[in-house]
């Protein structure tokens, strides 16, 4: 019993290691996102490391994170900067509408939900772009076009992914940012459950390698 408890290959310790990886990779994402404009490359790296390290149990997830961060930096940043500007504009319009709705304007209340939907659309496209970049190689133009097509082709999954990230962000903000120690990694893990279904038709099928033939002795 105690041998299994202290066995590093046991289910308990493997699960514990993956929880630690979610926390560690979340902190890596926070550190690499501090300049703000680098949040795109950090998100690409986080998704890649969480999918391979946490979901598939592969080794070297931290090295993978920083390698992917460097490789995806240019394409991710080119799309992230205008996305941040658009998000700031829409957020400001949402805030103004919120003030009007708090004052009793019914029309503003309707627009409050409209602005929220408008915020989710570019968020979904941006998230699909970052997650796609973690699995495929694109320049920024091809990446944007591909992400937009995938969002249109998979609207339910896109809506769930965008709402999931939004709710985790709101939860983190309202808790004085303390959940940031795990919400980025947890968000990437949950998003991968939907995104990998989207990516599946475009990825080569993994064919298991055949077992080596057994040595057979021949009698003369």
Cα separation values, 97 from 50, 51, 123, 162, 174, Å: 37, 38, 19, 21, 20
**Coil vs helix vs strand at 34:** coil
**According to the model, what pLDDT value does residue 10 have?**
62
Has residue 139 been placed in a domain? yes
**Which of 182, 170, 51 lies closest to 119 in space, CA to CA?**
170
Has residue 72 been placed in a domain? yes
Q: What is the pTM of this model?
A: 0.85
Has residue 205 been placed in a domain? no
**According to the model, what pLDDT value does residue 6 have?**
55
Has residue 152 been placed in a domain? yes
With a CB cutoff of 8 Å and minimum separation 6, the contacts of 159 are 120, 124
Q: What is the pLDDT of residues 122-146, one digit of tens each?
A: 999 999 999 999 999 999 999 999 9
Has residue 2 been placed in a domain? no
Number of structural domains in the chain: 1
What average pLDDT does range 193-219 have in this prediction? 67
Q: What is the pLDDT of residues 57-98, one digit of tens each?
A: 999 999 999 999 999 999 999 999 999 999 899 888 888 888
Has residue 204 been placed in a domain? no
Q: Phi then psi for 89, rounded to 5 degrees? A: -65, -50
Domain that holds residue 160: 8-195
Has residue 48 been placed in a domain? yes
Has residue 200 been placed in a domain? no
Write out the two tokens for 22.
């979610």
């Amino acid at each position: 019993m105690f041998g299994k408890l202290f066995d590093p290959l046991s289910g308990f310790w493997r699960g514990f290691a993956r929880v630690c990886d979610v926390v560690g990779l979340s902190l890596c994402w926070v550190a690499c996102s501090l300049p703000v404009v680098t949040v795109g490359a950090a998100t690409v790296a986080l998704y890649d490391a969480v999918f391979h390290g946490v979901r598939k149990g592969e080794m070297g997830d931290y090295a993978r994170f920083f390698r992917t961060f460097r490789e995806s930096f240019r394409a991710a940043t080119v799309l992230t900067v205008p996305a941040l500007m658009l998000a700031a504009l829409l957020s400001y319009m949402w805030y103004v509408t919120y003030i009007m709705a708090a004052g009793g304007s019914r029309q503003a209340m309707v627009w409050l939900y409209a602005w929220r939907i408008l915020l989710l659309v570019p968020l979904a496209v941006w998230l699909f772009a970052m997650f796609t970049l973690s699995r495929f190689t694109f320049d920024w133009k091809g990446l944007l076009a591909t992400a937009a097509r995938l969002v249109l082709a998979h609207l339910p999954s896109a809506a769930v992914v965008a709402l999931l990230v939004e709710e985790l962000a709101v939860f983190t903000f309202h808790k004085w940012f303390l959940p940031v120690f795990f919400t980025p990694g947890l968000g990437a893990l949950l998003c991968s459950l939907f995104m990998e279904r989207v990516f599946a038709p475009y990825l080569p099928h993994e064919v298991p390698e055949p077992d080596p033939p057994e040595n057979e002795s021949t009698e003369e």
